[in-house]
Amino acid sequence: MPRWKHAAILALVMYGLLAQSAVSHEVDDEPKRVTATSTLELRELVGQEVAVYGTIESTGKSPSGHQFLNFYGKQVSVFCRQDDVLKFKDGAPADLYANKEVEVTGQLSLFNGKLQLTLTTPEKIRLLKETAGHAPPKTVELKLIGREAWMSPAGLRYQGRDPEGLNRVEHIERHTRDIPNREGPHGVFDGGKEVAFAVIDEAWELAEKAKLRANVEGDRSSYLVRMRRRVGYLGGQTGKERGNPPLDRVFIVFETDTKNIVTAFPR
Amino acid sequence: MSTEEIPYICECEFCEQGLLRFRSCPECEAICAVCDECELVWEDIGEVSDDPSVKAASAYPRCPVCGAKEKGWPALEFEEIQDAELEDYIADESV
Structure-derived torsion over alpha carbons of residues B65, B69, B70, B74, reported in degrees to the nearest 10: 60
Any B CB within 8 A of A179 CB: yes
In degrees rounded to 5, what are phi and psi of residue B50? -70, -40
| CA distance to partner chain A, nearest, from residue B65 (Å) | 15
- Cis omega (within 30 of 0) on the bond before B52? no
| CA distance to partner chain B, nearest, from residue A178 (Å) | 13
**Residue A1: per-residue pLDDT:** 54
From chain A, the residues in CB contact with B73 under 8 A are 163
Stronger pLDDT, A225 or A194, i.e. the higher one = A225
Q: Residue A244, SS3?
A: coil
Q: Using CB atoms within 10 A of its CB, is residue A155 exposed (0-12), middle (13-18) or buried (19+)?
A: exposed
For B69, nearest residue in chain A (alpha carbons): A163
Binned at pLDDT 50, 70 and 90, residue A113 comes out as confident
CB contact under 8 A, A218 and B94: no
What does pLDDT average to over chain B? 94
CB contact under 8 A, B16 and A185: yes
Count of pairs with CB atoms under 8 A, one residue in A, one in B: 76
Residue A30 has pLDDT above 80, yes or no: no
Query: What number is the ipTM of this complex?
Result: 0.91
Tell me the per-residue pLDDT of A53-103, one tens digit each, with 9 for 90 and over: 888 888 888 889 999 999 887 789 999 999 999 999 888 898 888 778 888
Binned at pLDDT 50, 70 and 90, residue A20 comes out as very low
Tell me the per-residue pLDDT of A152-193, one tens digit each, with 9 for 90 and over: 999 999 999 999 999 999 999 999 999 998 989 999 998 888
| CA distance to partner chain A, nearest, from residue B33 (Å) | 12
Cβ–Cβ under 8 Å, residues A21 and A29: no
Q: How much is the average pLDDT of A7-13?
A: 52
Tell me the per-residue pLDDT of A205-241, one tens digit each, with 9 for 90 and over: 999 999 999 999 999 999 999 998 889 999 999 999 9
Any B CB within 8 A of A163 CB: yes
Give chain A's length: 267
CB contact under 8 A, B16 and A267: yes
Residue B47 host element (H or E): helix B45-50
CB contact under 8 A, A162 and B14: no
- Spacing of C-alpha B40 from chain mean position: 9
Indicate the pairing of strand A100-111 with strand A125-130.
antiparallel
For A265, nearest residue in chain B (alpha carbons): B17
Q: Residue A196, SS3?
A: helix
Closest by Cβ to A163, choosing from B16, B23, B57: B23
Please report, as a single letter, which amino acid is at residue A70: N
Q: Using CB atoms within 10 A of its CB, is residue A16 exposed (0-12), middle (13-18) or buried (19+)?
A: exposed
From chain A, the residues in CB contact with B13 under 8 A are none
Task: Record the pTM.
Answer: 0.65
